[in-house]
């Protein structure tokens, strides 16, 4: 972006969506670092931290997932309207709720973190996929609950085929703040 960009002094919501293990947190951390280097106010809202604080007690049901996504969207909107760059790393599996956010939030950029299920399972350091496959976790996205792929994301990152640096350097919507 050039210095005369309308987003230079306003906030933006970079919403990273994808399966567990797709690489959302890794890309979000790199984006956060890039933005901080440019001395811009930035907040990263990560799914794990959200579950422990903002959405504690919610499960994996569709209703709980939608509630979680709406809560995070609300917080992201509050921050972005005050000039903060908000980087959200959240599975947000259902297309309808993401579309709802797109239509109601300002400067919303949907970023699909695309990785095949097999790759996500291989990266699963928490063992969530194994627990879901054994029945210990019900309604787990990608196993017994769907992940609805975005139809028209603003940006798609292919984490099984591209490096983190390649994904962060994508020029659409100025991910790295350059």
**C-alpha dihedral sign at 81, 49, 44, 123:** negative
CA dist 173 to 14, 63, 107, 165, Å?
A: 9, 31, 10, 16
Active-site choice (10, 20, 92, 139) = 92
Global pTM reads 0.87
Q: What pLDDT does residue 135 have?
A: 93
What average pLDDT does range 143-172 have in this prediction? 90
Q: Give dist(CA 111, CA 114) in Å, integer.
A: 9
pLDDT (tens digit per residue) in 87-112:
999 999 999 999 999 999 989 999 99
The residue extents of the domains of the chain are 12-116+149-174
Q: What pLDDT does residue 2 have?
A: 34
Confidence of residue 4 (pLDDT cuts 50, 70, 90): very low
What average pLDDT does range 152-163 have in this prediction? 94
Nearest to 101 by CA among 24, 13, 39, 10: 13
- Select from 3.30.930.10, 3.40.190.10, 3.30.590.10, 3.40.50.300 the CATH code of 12-116+149-174: 3.40.50.300
* Summary mean pLDDT of the chain: 87
- Is 55 tagged catalytic? no
> Tokens representing 155?
């940006």
């Amino acid at each position: 972006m050039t210095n005369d960009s309308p987003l230079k002094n306003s906030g933006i919501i970079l919403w990273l969506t994808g399966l567990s293990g797709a690489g959302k947190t890794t890309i979000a951390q790199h984006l956060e670092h890039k933005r901080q280097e440019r001395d811009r106010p930035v907040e990263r809202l990560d799914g794990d931290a959200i579950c422990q604080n903002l959405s504690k007690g919610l499960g994996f049901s569709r209703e709980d997932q939608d509630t979680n996504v709406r809560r995070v969207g609300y917080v992201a909107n509050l921050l972005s309207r005050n000039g903060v760059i908000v980087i959200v790393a959240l599975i947000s599996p259902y297309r309808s709720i993401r579309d709802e956010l797109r239509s109601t939030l300002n400067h919303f950029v949907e970023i699909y973190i695309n990785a095949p299920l097999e790759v996500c399972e291989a990266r699963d350091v928490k063992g969530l996929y194994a627990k879901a496959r054994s029945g210990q976790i019900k309604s787990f996205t990608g196993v017994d609950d769907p992940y609805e792929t975005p139809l028209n994301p603003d940006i798609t990152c292919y984490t099984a085929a591209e490096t983190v640096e390649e994904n962060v350097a994508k020029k659409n919507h100025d991910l790295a703040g350059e």
